[in-house]
Amino acid sequence: MAAPGVNELGDIIRELKKNIPCSLSSILSQDVNPEFIFLIHEAEDDLEKCRNPSLVLSRAQALLDAVWEQLNTGHWSKVSATERQVYTAAGLIKIQALLQMQLHEASGPVKDVYERALETADRSLLLGAPLPVMDGQSMHRCAQILTSVVSTPGTAAEGVGACRRAPWTSVDQIPGVSGESLPVLDRPSIERFRTEHFSTRLPVKLTGCMSHWPALSRWGDMAYLRRVAGPRTVPVELGAHYADPDWSQQLMTVSRFIDQHVTGAGRPLGYLAQHPLFDQVPELRTDIHEPEYCCLSNNLQDTDAAAEETDINAWFGPAGTVSPLHHDPKHNLLAQVVGEKRVLLYSPADSPRLYPHETTLLGNTAQVDPEQPDYSMCPEYRHASALECRLRAGEMLYIPPLWWHHVRALTTSFSVSFWWQ
């Protein structure tokens, strides 16, 4: 990307301002700390008069740091939307201050400034909450504008051929038990799917249902992913899996994640797991289509369930990433876009034989590791029955609520999950 000149930078600042509410301090709830409101008001006044952007930046960062402490105190579910909205407002102010400093003081390479501004936008999208104006899209629109000036046009295709592959070459060599093969349906009607699997809560592999997805021909090209989402900041899981004591998370850009954990050899295992990437990067959302089966509801009279949006999450990583044996409360269609996964499934009736953790935090996760079962600790696991699915690109797996599943990527893999009531 050629570095924008002063005129272009000014155009970008003006375009951003079109998508930012005029008075952030006035739209926040009365419950907000008055000191926060005062800082926001003063910062907005300085921005409007193009006065001392470095001081504005300091105020915005102080706000972000103060709210960060509140967001990381106690359980996330207890954090109020008001506190998260303050974080978003402070992020919008910081973005404007960064660009104004560059415009008036030439504080460094302009690309670095854009990247800092975009990282601020992504952190706000991850931790903040939509403001009650402009359909709550202010930060999304700012992120899209900044992405357009940070992204580098793709060059030669960078496929997954050089990416890590698992050492196993046949089903018999994959660690763990081999279960019975899962039934397969090719493009079943909604009625057949409802009657045979949704209503009866029986898992099934579906083929031919995503052949129209542009993602199938695009996401295997790392250059495409870098171009569309490369500069975006996302949470990456580090370690064997989320139940491992050495598990951690780190924020990094998608490009850095690809370099360090997907195409790089000998790197620590990293996984972009269960992340609403398609809300954060709408351009990727246009590459997929929500399966029509997601229109089915447990209770046709339950209007709340019918109106609830489907949760769509991304799962992207190298061979060897694992989701430990666990269950979810919702219906799940796991769509494989790139690569291959092995999934082991167990009926809810087998729950006592899988030894769920007794803690609330891991109550939906089994102590049993199907790939290395310890029968001395979990003797009843010998009597559990597994179903096995090899999920390849272009195939979907229906996992009913409360069905236990263990997932291992056999190659570089990109999957999309659709969860609904």
Task: Report the alpha-carbon distance of residue 274 to residue 407 in Å, rounded.
Answer: 13
Question: Stretch 291-299: mean pLDDT, rounded?
Answer: 89
Strand pairing class (184-186; 322-326):
unpaired
- 208 pLDDT exceeds 80? yes
Look at residue 205 and give its three-state secondary structure. strand
- pLDDT score at 168: 46
> What is d(CA 279, CA 284) in angstroms, rounded to the nearest whole number?
9
User: Percentage of residues in the chain with pLDDT exceeding 90?
Assistant: 65
Confidence band, pLDDT 50/70/90 cuts, at residue 57: very high
User: Average pLDDT, whole number, for the chain?
Assistant: 88
Cite the residue boundaries of each domain of the chain with CATH code 2.60.120.650. Answer: 171-420
Contact yes or no for 240/269 (Cβ under 8 A):
yes
| Cα 8 from Cα 16, distance rounded (Å) | 12
Note the pLDDT of residue 219.
98
For the segment 97-146, what is each residue's pLDDT rounded down to a tens digit?
A: 999 999 888 767 888 999 999 999 999 999 999 988 767 789 999 999 99
pLDDT at 156 over 70: no
Is-contact 179 387, C-beta < 8 A? yes
Tell me the pLDDT band of 298, cut-offs 50, 70 and 90. Answer: confident
| Conformation bin of residue 214: beta by default, left when phi > 0, alpha when psi is -120 to 50 | alpha
Q: What is the pTM of this model?
A: 0.88
Higher pLDDT, 79 or 278: 278
229-246 pLDDT per residue, tens = 999 999 999 987 777 777
Residue 161: predicted pLDDT: 46
User: What average pLDDT does range 84-103 have in this prediction?
Assistant: 94
Q: Is the pLDDT of residue 302 over 60?
A: no
Q: What is the pLDDT of residue 266?
A: 67
Q: Which CATH architecture has domain 171-420?
A: Sandwich (2.60)
What pLDDT, on a 0 to 100 scale, did the predictor assign at position 113? 93
Q: Tell me, what's the pLDDT at 177?
A: 65
269/236 Cα distance (integer angstroms): 10
Does residue 386 have a pLDDT over 80?
yes
CA distance 22 to 29: 16
In whole angstroms, give the CA distance from residue 405 to residue 387: 9
Say if residue 77's pLDDT is above 80.
no
Q: Kindly state the average pLDDT of the residues 369-384.
A: 94
pLDDT of residue 63 exceeding 60: yes
- Residue 171 binned pLDDT confidence (cut-offs 50, 70, 90): very low
Residue 1 has pLDDT above 50, yes or no: no
Residue 162 pLDDT greater than 50, yes or no? no
Q: How many angstroms separate the first and last alpha carbons of the chain?
A: 44
Whether 153 has a pLDDT exceeding 70, the answer reads no
Specify the DSSP class assigned to residue 417: E
Q: How far is CA 229 from CA 101, 176, 336, 380, 388, in A?
A: 26, 35, 19, 46, 33
pLDDT greater than 80 at residue 29 = no
